């Protein structure tokens, strides 16, 4: 069932999660379409992924703005012009201010490489290894005004093996991200998610 939801992706780096979303869309597993990719980094490989797949790409270079608020005002203008239903953060290395979050309540998603609320912020995989936990994973969640804090949509647990390095663990966590991010986005696009307080419920058939 294609509901025609329009998705905007914000990214700063390689864009492997964007590629997973695009691939799911091509397989018919996403009830929506990525209509724009915005990056704060003019050298980000994610921009090439967008071009290669015929998606509008926009560079909003963070170095050209004095403050976070000024940057987010410019970003909000771009997002509003696209008339988006959902904003997806895919390795976007900026914390969104209230300017963006309040404009898209319950319509911004992020993915984080840990089982939140454990190990929020940067280097979630490294922190999990250093802390000695036996299980980590990834979390897809809605974004609010606090860092890595919004209602959790999907989580997948990944066992940490004794022989794991940061690189080997990252590889498995990223594979889980690529499975779960498109799924969460599809649930949103099919209107199967409902936020009640801190909890996010999935309603109706997932398939």
- Give the torsion through C-alpha atoms of 6, 12, 18, 19, to 10 deg: 140
- How far is residue 50 from each of residues 4, 18, 31, 164, measured CA to CA in Å? 19, 8, 19, 33
Per the residue annotation, which of 112, 131, 141, 178 is the catalytic one?
112
131 given a catalytic annotation: no
Which parts of 27-183 are beta strand (E)?
32-39, 56-59, 86-89, 108-112, 135-142, 152-159
Q: In which residue are the tokens 């966590």 written?
A: 173
Kindly give, in sequence order, each residue whose CB lies less than 8 Å from that of residue 166, ignoring residues fewer than 6 positions away: 125, 126, 129
**Residues assigned a catalytic role:** 112
């Amino acid at each position: 069932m294609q509901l025609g939801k329009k998705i905007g992706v914000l990214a700063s780096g390689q864009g492997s999660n964007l590629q997973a979303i695009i691939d799911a869309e091509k397989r018919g597993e996403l009830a929506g379409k990525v209509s724009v990719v915005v990056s704060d980094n003019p050298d980000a490989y994610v921009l090439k992924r967008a071009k290669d797949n015929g998606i509008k790409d926009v560079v909003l270079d963070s170095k050209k703005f004095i403050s976070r608020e000024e940057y987010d005002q410019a970003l909000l203008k771009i997002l509003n012009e696209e008339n988006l239903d959902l904003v997806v953060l895919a390795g976007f290395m900026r914390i969104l201010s209230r300017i963006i979050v309040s404009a898209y309540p319950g319509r911004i998603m992020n993915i984080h490489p840990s089982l939140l609320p454990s190990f929020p912020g940067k280097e979630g995989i490294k922190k999990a290894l250093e802390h000695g936990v036996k299980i980590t994973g990834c979390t897809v969640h809605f974004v609010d005004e606090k860092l890595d804090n919004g209602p959790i949509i999907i989580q997948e647990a990944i066992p940490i093996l004794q022989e794991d390095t940061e690189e080997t663990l990252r590889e498995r966590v990223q594979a889980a991200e690529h499975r779960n991010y498109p799924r969460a986005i599809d649930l949103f696009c099919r209107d199967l998610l409902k936020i009640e307080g801190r909890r996010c419920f999935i309603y109706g058939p997932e398939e």
